[in-house]
Amino acid sequence: MLRIGSIVLRVDGLQRQTEFWTAALDYVAREERSDDFVLLRPKDGVGPNLSLDRVHSEVHLPPRIHLDLYAEDQAAEVKRLIALGATEVHWDKRPTDADYVILADPEGNRFCIVDASH
């Protein structure tokens, strides 16, 4: 049986991205670090890890893969993430009744905040 253990995100600024994603997800960095890789894990141990790999790569639009993050209070989470350094991405094809908001991390990697209350 397979399960997702870690999602790997390529980043340029490892320190800044580590700060953003640990605060965004309430994750902690594994003790063992290197100058080019950090594994972030849920504090409670439940859920997949997010690994940050310092490898320069261009952001592709639309991205081939993105994270869908579910929130009980979508508006509050969007506001909190923007305060941490995310930006809202406006997409002209987004349905008016969409249950998600598209954001980008400080390096432009896109992710969605999905309203989990529906």
Give the model confidence (pLDDT) of 41-72 as tens digits: 999 999 999 999 999 888 888 888 999 999 99
Contact criterion met (CB below 8 Å) for 81 and 26: no
pLDDT at 33: 73
Residue written as token pair 């249950």: 99
pLDDT at 84: 98
**List of the chain residues with pLDDT < 70:** none
Assigned fold of 1-57? 3.30.720
pLDDT at 112: 97
Burial state string for 42-58 with b = 16 or more CB within 10 A and e = fewer than 16: eeeeeeeebbbebeeee
> What's the predicted TM-score (pTM) here?
0.91
pLDDT at 57: 84
pLDDT at 115: 96
pLDDT at 19: 96
- ω into 62 cis (within 30 of 0): yes
- Is the fold of 1-57 the same as that of 65-118? no
Q: Which sequence spans correspond to the domains of the chain?
A: 1-57, 65-118
Architecture per CATH, domain 65-118, reads as: Roll (3.10)
Contact criterion met (CB below 8 Å) for 36 and 54: yes
